[in-house]
Amino acid sequence: MKVVMAHTFYKQKGGEDESYRAESRLLEDHGHHVERYERHNRELDGMPAARIALNTIWNSQSARDVASITSQAHADVVHFQNTFPLMSPSVYSAARRQGAAVVQALRNYRLSCVNGLLFRDGQICEACTGRSFARPGIAHGCYRHSAVGSAVVASMQSLHKLIRTYDRQVDLYIAVSGFVRLKYIEFGLDPERIVVKPNFVYPDPGAQLVPGQYALFVGRLSAEKGVRRLVEVWRRERLGMELRIVGDGPERGRLEAQAAGQDGVSFLGSLPLDQTYAQIAGAAFIVVPSEWYEPFGRTAVEGLAHGTPVVCADIGGLGEIVQDGVTGFTFTAGHSDSLAGALHHAVVRREDASLRVNARAAYERWYSPDSNYTTLMSAYQRAIDHRAAR
């Protein structure tokens, strides 16, 4: 099969970037021809605001690029990961005009929410759901705290809903969790054209089934990730272990100030993937304290792959990953006492080998390359069949 993988990288690397790389490599290692079309949000630096706004809504250059690469590759499928903002939804019709089936990954809530998170001012927000135009998102400056920027994103959403881009130009959507699929059905997408395929870890890092010595958070240091509450609870509970925090983001300065004078909290910054994996392998458990509707939780699955138990909020797609008391521990998102209880359970059972064995078994069953490849191929064939029927 010939596939074009298209992705816009974020300025701060994240799980979507890693998932894009993993899927591309998985396809190539199974003998498929993969062409890549990549943009990077660093391109926005120095770009005039008017041009950014226009390109966000309809980027003619990206459309021409996608049409060219799709034609030259004789692609069967063009799989779009993140198109925001540099590609724009213009790329869908460009790919379809070349005869390819169009697949769009659903890894956030951008098609309906201005900031893509369904999260504002420290809490879940669905004020724009069901609206033809996201006026609340503009009023609150949900995109980068800018009313103007938010108006541009809302205009993109509204225009493409109006001309039915998302209905007519995309053959299949791949949601990373059952939760995300249900949300997009609420947003108005056709349930028959949304399949669920979780993220996965590739190549398989292998398990190290020995007790770890510290707790670990890995991810973007931003409000919705719940790290502030984690640090607060960690300091309060005095759990007798070190908490290591890997990652960077807008909350880092505030978090470091919050943890000042606390010997048990260390900030390691953003690390290369191999070093991050080494930290995961050596951890007693990973903590994923998200307070938004986390679409999936790649870090949680990376923990399972290493045989490292996971303590996570039972919210969004995270609730589908961890089995409480079996592969880790769950708690109620946004509740400090519930988080504290889960952390105490994890500390008490940090040398329980069954947790690590079960975690690894869950990875092998649900999140391995082999199971994911089968699901991905089925999705592509479904998209091709839909394209042929239209």
Q: Is residue 131 within 8 Å of 158, Cβ to Cβ? A: no
pLDDT for position 356: 97
pLDDT for residue 100 is more than 90? yes
pLDDT for position 390: 80
Confidence class for position 257, pLDDT limits 50, 70, 90: very high
- 178-219 tens-digit pLDDT: 999 999 999 999 999 999 999 999 999 999 888 899 999 999
pLDDT for residue 294 is more than 80? yes
267 by DSSP, 3-state: which?
strand
Q: In the predicted model, what is the mean pLDDT of residues 233-247?
A: 95
Q: What is the largest CA-CA distance in the chain?
A: 64
Confidence class for position 317, pLDDT limits 50, 70, 90: very high
Q: Is residue 326 within 8 Å of 320, Cβ to Cβ? A: no
- Measure the CA–CA gap between 377 and 388, rounded to whole angstroms: 17
- What are the helix and strand counts (H, E) for the chain? 15, 14
pLDDT for position 11: 82
- What are the structure tokens assigned to 369, written together? 């390359």
Averaged pLDDT of the chain = 96
pLDDT for position 13: 75
pLDDT for residue 288 is more than 90? yes
pLDDT for position 220: 93
Sheet with strand 172-175: strands edge to edge: 33-40, 2-9, 77-80, 101-106, 172-175, 194-196
245 by DSSP, 3-state: which?
strand
pLDDT for position 15: 82
Model pTM greater than 0.85? yes
Contacts 24+ apart (CB under 8 A), 11-17: 11/40, 11/41, 11/42, 12/220, 12/248, 12/249, 12/270, 13/270, 14/219, 14/220, 15/107, 15/199, 15/219, 15/296, 15/298, 15/299, 16/81, 16/82, 16/107, 16/108
pLDDT for position 107: 96
pLDDT for position 252: 96
pLDDT for position 78: 98
pLDDT for position 178: 97
Amino acid letter at 370?
A: D
pLDDT for residue 69 is more than 90? yes
Amino acid letter at 110?
A: R
How many CA atoms lie less than 13 Å away from 95 in the CB half-sphere?
Answer: 32
260 Ramachandran zone, left/alpha/beta (phi>0; psi -120 to 50): beta
Q: Which domains does the chain have, with CATH numbers?
A: 2-107+164-201+369-389 (3.40.50.2000), 214-366 (3.40.50.2000)
Burial of residue 19 (CB within 10 Å: 0-12, 13-18, 19+) is buried
pLDDT for position 12: 76
Q: In the predicted model, what is the mean pLDDT of residues 82-102?
A: 97
pLDDT for position 205: 93
